[in-house]
Structure formats: C-alpha cells, structure tokens
Amino acid sequence: VLSNCGNYLSFGDTKFIPRIPRESFAAVCSVADDLRLRDDDEASLAERFEHAAEAIYSLDRSVLSLGLGDSGVSAYYGEDLTRADVDLVSAFMKSKGMEAWNTRVFKSGDNLIIRVASALRQPISLHEFEGRGIVIEHADFDAALKQVVECLENALPYAANDNQRKMVLSYIAHFNGGDIDDHKESQRHWIKDKGPVVESNLGFIETYRDPLGQRAEWEGFVAMVNKEQTRKFGVLVDSAPKLIPLLPWGKDFEKDSFRPPDFTSLEVLGFASSGIPAGINIPNYDDIRQNLGFKNVSLGNVLRAGGKSKERISFLRDADQELYRDLSNESFEVQVGLHELLGHGSGKLLEKRADGSFNFDPKIVDPTTGKPVASWYEPGETWGSVFTTIASSYEECRAEAVGLHLCTDERVLKIFGHEGQHAKDIAYVNWVSMARAGISALTFYDPEHDRWGQAHMMARFALLNVMLEAGEGLLSIEKDEAGEWVLHLDRSKIASVGAPAIAEFLRKLNVYKATANEKAGRALYAHLTSVDAKFLTLRDYVLSKRKPRHIWVQPVTDIDAKGGVVLREYPATNRGVIDSHVDRYAYLLNASW
C-alpha cells in the first residue's frame, strides 16, 4: 500500500487486498484501543478499520481496477459521473483554454463540478455550457498544498541562481492559486537551469493513472547528478542533430530546430510518487516542449537496483540466458537514453494558431497517404485531449520504437561505449528484452473488460506484435522441450526484416500524432494491442511465472538542532519501507484534510 500510494497497483492499476482474513486484520487493529490515526481523531484505529473494511476487501467487479463508470473506480471522477459528463467538461475546459492536469470532476445534482488543486480558496464560478451548469471550485488538496508552499518559501533563500529562484516563485504562485500557466512558467525556468548539482521537480506531472489520460498524479523528486555518467549522455545530446535525421519521418514532421536539453544521470535521494521510473522526459506541456525544449533525466540508482539474478529468466531460450543476464542492464541504459532524448524528445505537432496561421506549410505531404496533410491541432487542443485514453501508451510506444530503431546503429552504440561484437550483442539483447517485455505485458491485460492496465506494457505488447507480423522467421514464440514458452529472435534478420518493420510502424505512429489523426492512430494501435485466443492461452502461462515488482526503500533527510543535514537510511525490508514512510510523511497525518 505504501509503495503504490494506495490499494491499486501503480504499475497495472488493479486492486489488491490484504493476504490475511478480515477478522485477523480487525484483531490487529483492536490490540491498542487508544491508538489513533491522528492526534485529534475521535475514532479508534479499530473503528476506522471497520468503517473501511468492506471497501478494502471488496472484490466486486466494478472496483477491481481503475476506470470510469462501470469499468472501474477513479478518484479523479465522482462515482455518479458518466463518460458523457466528462466529455462535456472537457469541451467546456477547451472553450475556456483550461487544462486538466491539476483538476478532478464531480457532480452535484445536475451541475458538474471542476475542482482545482490549490492552497488558497477563490470565489466559486458558475457557468452554463450546452444546457448544463458547470462549477469551478478551488482549494482541492489545500491542506497538503499549504505545507508544500510553506516548504518552498523556506527553500527560496537557498536557490543557487536566478533561474532557480524564479522557478520556486512560480511554483509558489501555482500551488497557491492553481493556475497551470504558473506551473508552465516554473518549467520554463527549470529548463533554463542547466547542469545543477542538485536536481528537483514537482507538480501534477504524469497522467498514466487517469482512465482518460488527462489528469495528472502528484510527483516530486530530489536527486544528485552523477557527473561521470552525465558526460556520456552529453555526448548523446551533442550527437542528436546528426541522429534525428535517421528517424523515419522526414524534416516536415520534426521540430524546426533542435534545442539541446540537459540530459543528466541522477542518483535519486527521494522520489514522491506511486512509482519510480527509470527515466524522465519533462515537462509534458506540448507548447513548452515544442517551442522551448525539455530536460532528460536517467535515474541511475534505479537502473542499477535490479542487480543480476542467478534465477532462470522466463521466456528465454537456453542460448540467450547468459548473454541476457550479462548485458540486460547495459542494453537497458541504451534504450532509456534513446527513449527519453530521441523518443519523447522528437517529433512535431502540426498546429493551427489562434490567429488562423499554421506552424507548418499546409502543402506538406502526409507520407502515410501521399496527399497533403488533412488534419492538425486546433487552438486549445493538446496531444492528450485529442488522443485521450490511448495518448500515454501511444507515446510510450513511439519512444520505445525509437530506441529499437536507433539501437542497431553503430554510431549510436559507440556513444554509449559499445563497439564491435559487444555492440552487436547489446543491440540484440535490447530487441530480445523488448520482445520479452511484450510477452510479460499480458499480465497487465484485463480480459474481462478487454483493456490494458499499464501504458508502458501495452506499448511493449504492440511492439511484440510488430515483430511477429514482420514474418520471415524474425520472431517466434513456441514451447521448448521442457514445455516452457520461449521466444526465438533470429538476430540475423533484425537488420533485414525487423528494422524495416519497426521503421514503418514508427513512421505511422509519429505522423498520426503530428497530424492529430486520432482515428487512424487509434485504429493502428487497437490492431496491434488486440489480444486474441492464442495470446489469452499464453497469458495464463505468463501469470504462472509472474514475480512481484521491486518495492523501493528511500532515505529521509532531517535538519538537526545545529542546522546540519542528517541522512537517515533504512534496511531493504518491509519494516524499512514502513519506517521510512512514517518518518517522511507523519506530519501529513495531522493536516486538516
């Protein structure tokens, strides 16, 4: 629960319940009658548990996963909301130039309510839109955000430069008032803050857990730069202008100019979110990414945390076991670097401006049709608002495909320090890793609702299918002599069969995204992420081989009586996870929620 920030998996979006019976849980809670969740709580812990027990243990079909309406539950949306209600709110917000990142939606009577996260209250505004009343309320999560603002105000005197100072001031304005434009301003200053020794970012950032892919989860991190590894990424950034033309869509669908971003390798000190990624490419705001740029971050101690297990690796042939075990970490480092910088960092959105002009030549030809482009983003539209439910996974698939496309290039591999046969092995292991991830992804498919529960895994399953559909013996999945399902990737056909298939798929992904062609993009993605009867049979086997994901134990920093910083570390045990969370977040328990 602590690791996932709730009782739904952060990587998979499905519900989990306690291993012990309800009666045993109740007995544990009743041991200390005077124990309270908060100092001013009138109810005992046992009473609190009884109030929540039914929901905690419920396995009703409607609550087994995150979703909207009958397909699941979501704290972003009230229980009585329909998809039509939410679509109406989206249309209203578009008409007002309002973005959804830090909002939630509820219903009161016939009115629809947009709650904006902010520390300060503002006058409630009532609007009429298409015959419905829409109310905008501020001060959602105000108790927590007031503490965030207080901490930022205390941090302001320690800003290392003017960019950091302006960034913190913009954070304060955003978290106080809830205006997304203030957060965008903070990210403009963050992008300009090149090469800090200590890196941080926070806000409502990633939309993976919103069923509609528009509303974001709170996220914040503090990390120290690994200077040696960062120098390697610096070479990749410097090489990017020469590598971008290798992407299969041409200059008309690429940004007008490449703005070299910071690409740093970080050692994470603290990452506050329901899941810790291996890499980040932010900010996610289309207008900033396209016009100003972004930062790339590789989280080095996250990448290294897995270690090298001696256990047999599922879905791999005997011939691939040792090579994969030896090179999977190095190949993943290559994939993450390409995924973040040249995946998320590439591509242009074709837009019509508010004054009626375009940010592209309307005469350019759509390579997927051979005709002039026929669609683009209208004023007020964003990538997320147009592609909605598939946006997050589709973009992850595009970035992953860029990694596969470029990792076979000798020039790219040399940047990462890989040459000769070793470099060829790195590329092969990267392709094997992606195919294996595509098989493992079946764990995150829900056959009852015919939907995917994790954006990255849905993306990897799509790429698995691209390899399979390429044919000519490139990839097969079959049982070995021991009755185990294994994949066989013919490395001699990666260049001749696999690479062209990935390139063509990647071209379509990027052009459909660039031209706001949601219809074609959704059809393509639906085809490649469809799970047929053969894959459902394989899914049963995959579930039998499933292993738990890592649970992260993070340190906590304190200020001692003399003003010095104290680092508190914890053992890699369940108790260590609990103690670290209590020490980090105990002050929130007494907040006035």
Question: Known catalytic residues?
Answer: 340
- Half-sphere exposure of residue 188, counting CA atoms within 13 Å on the CB side? 14
Cα distances (angstroms) measured from residue 113 to each of 73, 128, 389: 18, 12, 21
CA 121 to CA 282: how far, in whole Å?
29
Alpha helices in 442-568 (DSSP H): 455-470, 499-514, 518-528, 533-544
CA 517 to CA 503: how far, in whole Å?
19
Q: Are 551 and 3 in contact (CB under 8 A)?
A: yes
Relative to beta strand 132-140, strand 371-372 is unpaired
Q: Are 81 and 115 in contact (CB under 8 A)?
A: no
Helices vs strands, H then E, count in the chain: 19, 17
Q: Are 364 and 370 in contact (CB under 8 A)?
A: no
CA 590 to CA 593: how far, in whole Å?
8
CA 271 to CA 97: how far, in whole Å?
31
Please give the backbone phi and psi of residue 65, each rounded to the nearest 5 degrees, phi first. -150, 165
Output b/e per residue, 329-359; b: 16+ Cβ within 10 A: ebbbbbbbbbbbbbbbbbbbbbbbeeeeeee
Name the helix (H) or strand (E) containing 52: helix 45-57
Q: Residue 207 CB: number of other CB atoms within 10 A?
A: 21
Q: What angle do CA 575, 581, 585 make, to 5 degrees?
A: 155
Q: Are 317 and 482 in contact (CB under 8 A)?
A: no
- Beta partners for residue 371, in sequence order: 366
Name the helix (H) or strand (E) containing 22: helix 22-29
CA 65 to CA 14: how far, in whole Å?
4
Q: Residue 69 CB: number of other CB atoms within 10 A?
A: 18
Q: Are 439 and 538 in contact (CB under 8 A)?
A: yes
Q: Where does residue 109 fall: left (phi above 0), alpha (psi -120 to 50 degrees), or beta otherwise?
A: left
Please give the backbone phi and psi of residue 393, each rounded to the nearest 5 degrees, phi first. -70, -40
**At how many degrees (to 10) do helices 142-155 and 574-589 cross?**
90
For 135-190, give the DSSP string.
Answer: EEEEEETHHHHHHHHHHHHHHGGG-SSHHHHHHHHHHHHHHHH--HHHHHHHHHHH
Alpha helices in 339-389 (DSSP H): 383-387
Q: How many residues does the chain have?
A: 593
The residue to which tokens 């949601």 are assigned = 518
Q: Please name the amino acid found at residue 234.
A: G
Relative to beta strand 125-129, strand 132-140 is antiparallel
